[in-house]
Chains A and B, each alone.
Chain A
Amino acid sequence: MGGTDASSPFCLYQTKEYFLSLHLMIDLKGVNKTYWGDTPLVALKDIDLHIDQGEFVGVTGPSGSGKSTLLNILGLLDSYDVGEYRLRGQIIKNLTKEEEAHIRNHNIGFVFQRYNLISFKTVYENVELPLIYRGIPQQEREARVMDMLEKMELTGWKKHIPSHLSGGQQQRVAIARAMVMNPKIILADEPTGALDSRMTREIVNLFRKCNQENNVTIVLVTHETSISSQMSRCITMNDGRIEKDERR
C-alpha cells in the first residue's frame, strides 16, 4: 500500500484528512453568498466552518448577520457563489434538484420558527410525510411514527390537526418530523422564536436529548443568547462573517 499512486482511490484512505472526515459532518471553506438585486447584498463572506458529528452548535447574531442564509446553504435550500461545501465528505455543488432532495431526505432534518406543518394533515400524517417520500413501507412507517410520537409525548394528539395544538406542541411535532428520518443533522432556524420561555426551555431540552441520545448534529440558529449559551459550541455572526466561534 505504501507505493500507492496519488491518483488512486486508495490514496485517500491514507490521508489524515480522510480520518478527520470520518467525523466531519459539515465543512465550509471560503463560502461566499451574494444576493444579486438592484443593490447586491453580500450575505456571507469567506465562511470557514467545520462541524463534527454529534456537535450541538448554536448560531447567533443580530438580524441580517447571515445566520439564516448560512443555515439555508447548509440545508441545501439555497446555493452559494464561491467556496466549497462538503456535507459528510460530499461536495455540494451543481447538484440536480432531485439529488439535493435525496441528500436532504437522507441526512437533514429541518425545524423552523413557524413550525411549517401541513395544516390539513394530522399530527401523525405530518410526522409520517418524510417516511412516505423515503419510500418506507406502511408497517415500518407506522412503527417509527408511533415511536417518535411517544418520545415527543404526542401520542394522544396523533389524530389532531396542527391548529388544535399549542405552539410548543406544534414545534414538538416539527421536531418529531425532523427526527423520524434518523437524520445525521438537524438544522433549526429560530425554533423557539414563537414560543414563551417555558416552551422554549422544553424545546431546547428536547433538542439536547436528541443530540445526546442519538448523536445527532444540531445546528440551531437563534438570536437569543440565553439559548445559544446552553450549547456546546456557539458561533456568533455579524455582517456575513463568523465573528466568534466558542466551544464550551
Chain B
Amino acid sequence: MMDGLRKMKEGRLSLDNFFKDILASVRMSRRRGFLSGLMTVWGVFIFIAVVGTSNGIDRGNRSNYDYILGYILISVSPGETSMAYDGLVKGHRVSLTRSDAQELQTLFSDRSEFVYPRKQNLVKCVSLTGTAGAVVSDYRKELNDNVLQITAGRNFTQVELDGRSRNCIIPENMAVQLFGKSDDAVNRTIQVDGLPYLVLGVYKTLHNVSINYVFVPFETSMSMQGMEDELSSIDIKLILDTSVEEKYRLKEDIRSWLYFKKGICPDDASALHFEESIDFIDAQEKLLDSIRLFTVILGLLSLLMGILGVSSIVYLSVKERTKEIAVRLVCGSGKGSIFRLILGEAVFIMLIFGCIGMLLGSAALKVANIVVEKFTADEKWIFIGNMTVSWQLILSCTALVIVCGLVSGLAPARKATSVRINQAMECE
C-alpha cells in the first residue's frame, strides 16, 4: 500500500513542497513578482472601484426614487367616457371616491406600498394687499416633505394634518405676490376660496421639482367646494424594487379593476386618466444598466490587463527558468508537476496581489464614501449613494482572480512543459 502511495506521488511535488517552491520562486524574483503583482493590484483595484462606484450610482438613483416619491407613482384621475357601454352614456363623468382608494389599498396592498386619495381645487387666494389664482392641494408628508423646503415659518404638525384646520403653507412666489416678502406672509391670514386660512409657512421647491400649490390638510382640501367624497386623483406608490414588467402589470390590473367597478368599456381611453412614471424609471433603469455594463466591461478590461501582465511576466519567468525546469525534469519531475508549479505560481501571484487590490479598492471606496458624504451631507438629491461592494462580489472576484491566474499561467505552463532538457541544460 505504501508502495502504491509512493507510486502515486512519484513525479510530483508534495503539497508543502509545492507551496514552498512557489514561495521560493516568487521570493527569488521579487522585482518581477512585484511588477506583475502591481498590474494585478491595479486591475483588481480598478475592477472593485468601478463596480463599487457603479453600485453607488445605482444606490444614489434608487434612493432618489424613494426620495422623490412622485416619480414612482401611478396616478389615476377622473375623466369622461368616450363611448356608451353597459348603461353608461358617452360623455359620462367618471368620479373617483374615498371608497375606491380604500378598496385599491386593500386589493393591492401586497403589490403597492401605499394608496393615497388626493384632492386638489382651483381657487382664488386673496390677501389684504394682493390676489393670486392657485391650486389648493392636500399635503402628504410622504410625498411632499422631500421636495419642499420651508423657508419661513413652519410646516404642518401631524395633528394639523390629521384634522380639518384652516392652515396652509404657500409657495415663495405667492408669498411675494400676496405680501411683498416671504417672511411677511407667516402667521398672516389669506382668503382661500372665500374662507380665512392661516399661513403657517412659506416653502420653496427643491431639485427643479415644479410645484406651486397652496397646501392644506387632506380633510380640509376634501371639504372645499362641496364635493366631500370626490377625489381629484388616486396616487399609488409602488414598491421600490418592483420590476418594470410588474409595474406595467400592476397598472393594467388597477385599470381593469377600476373599469370593471365603474362599468366602463375596456377600450375607453378617456374615462380614467393614468399617469405614471414607469417610463421614466424604465429609462433610468436602462441608463443604470448601461452604466453597470460599462463599468463591468471596464473592470474586466482592467483585469484582462492584469492577466496579460501576469501571463507575460510568468512567461518571461519560464524562459529565465528554463534550466531550473530542465533540472527538475532530470530529477524525476513529471511534466504535470512542472505544469502545476508554473500554474500555481501564476495563481499565487494573482491571488495575493488580487487580494491586495481588493483591499485597496475597498479602502478607496470607503474614503470616497467619506468624501462624498461630506460634500453631499445637506443634499437630499444624491447622485452617488453608498459605494460598496458586496461579500458576494468579493468572493466572486476572488474566484475570478483564481481563474485569471489559471488563464494567465496556462501559456507559460505549457511552454514550461515543452522544455527540451538537453537544450535547456546548455542555456546559460
Interface residues of A (CB under 8 A from B): 68, 72, 75, 77-78, 97-98, 101-102, 104-105, 110, 112, 114, 116-121, 129-130, 132-136, 177, 181, 189
CB of A159 to closest CB in B, whole Å: 14
Query: Which of B12, B25, B323 is the one whose CB lies under 8 Å from A116?
Result: B323
Q: Chain B residues with Cβ under 8 A from A132's Cβ?
A: 13-14, 17
Q: Chain B residues with Cβ under 8 A from A68's Cβ?
A: 422
Task: Please determine whether A105 and B27 come into contact, CB atoms closer than 8 angstroms.
Answer: no
CB of B286 to closest CB in A, whole Å: 55
Task: Please determine whether A133 and B333 come into contact, CB atoms closer than 8 angstroms.
Answer: yes
With A116-B425, A118-B327, A120-B24 known to touch, is A135 a contact of B7 (CB < 8 Å)? yes
Q: In the complex, which residues 296-331 of chain B have their Cβ closer than 8 Å to any Cβ of chain A? A: 323-324, 326-331
CB of B4 to closest CB in A, whole Å: 10
Q: Chain A residues with Cβ under 8 A from B386's Cβ?
A: none
Q: In the complex, which residues 264-316 of chain B have their Cβ closer than 8 Å to any Cβ of chain A? A: none
Task: Please determine whether A101 and B335 come into contact, CB atoms closer than 8 angstroms.
Answer: yes
Q: In the complex, which residues 1-28 of chain B have their Cβ closer than 8 Å to any Cβ of chain A? A: 5-14, 17, 24-25, 27-28
Distance between Cα atoms of A129 and B336 in the complex (Å): 16
Tell me if B153 counts as interface (CB < 8 A to partner A). no
Task: Please determine whether B24 and A105 come into contact, CB atoms closer than 8 angstroms.
Answer: no
Query: Which of A110, A120, A181 is the one whose CB lies under 8 Å from B27?
Result: A120
Task: Please determine whether B425 and A101 come into contact, CB atoms closer than 8 angstroms.
Answer: no
Distance between Cα atoms of A98 and B7 in the complex (Å): 12
Task: Please determine whether B335 and A133 come into contact, CB atoms closer than 8 angstroms.
Answer: no
Distance between Cα atoms of A169 and B420 in the complex (Å): 27
With A132-B13, A135-B8 known to touch, is A177 a contact of B28 (CB < 8 Å)? no
Tell me if B352 counts as interface (CB < 8 A to partner A). no
With A133-B13, A133-B332 known to touch, is A119 a contact of B28 (CB < 8 Å)? yes
Tell me if B239 counts as interface (CB < 8 A to partner A). no
Task: Please determine whether B11 and A105 come into contact, CB atoms closer than 8 angstroms.
Answer: yes
Interface readout for B215-232 with A: 1 if CB under 8 Å, 0 if not?
A: 000000000000000000
Q: Chain B residues with Cβ under 8 A from A102's Cβ?
A: 10-11, 332
Closest to B2 in A: A137
Tell me if B79 counts as interface (CB < 8 A to partner A). no
Query: Which of B6, B330, B425 is the one whose CB lies under 8 Å from A134?
Result: B6
Tell me if B60 counts as interface (CB < 8 A to partner A). no
CB of B129 to closest CB in A, whole Å: 92
Interface readout for B182-198 with A: 1 if CB under 8 Å, 0 if not?
A: 00000000000000000
Distance between Cα atoms of A136 and B337 in the complex (Å): 16
Most A CB contacts (10 A, CB to CB) among B5, B13, B326, B331 go to B331
CB of A127 to closest CB in B, whole Å: 10
With A77-B421, A104-B332 known to touch, is A120 a contact of B28 (CB < 8 Å)? yes
Distance between Cα atoms of A102 and B8 in the complex (Å): 12
Distance between Cα atoms of A91 and B117 in the complex (Å): 96
Task: Please determine whether B332 and A105 come into contact, CB atoms closer than 8 angstroms.
Answer: yes
Q: In the complex, which residues 366-402 of chain B have their Cβ closer than 8 Å to any Cβ of chain A? A: none
CB of A224 to closest CB in B, whole Å: 19
Q: Chain A residues with Cβ under 8 A from B337's Cβ?
A: 133
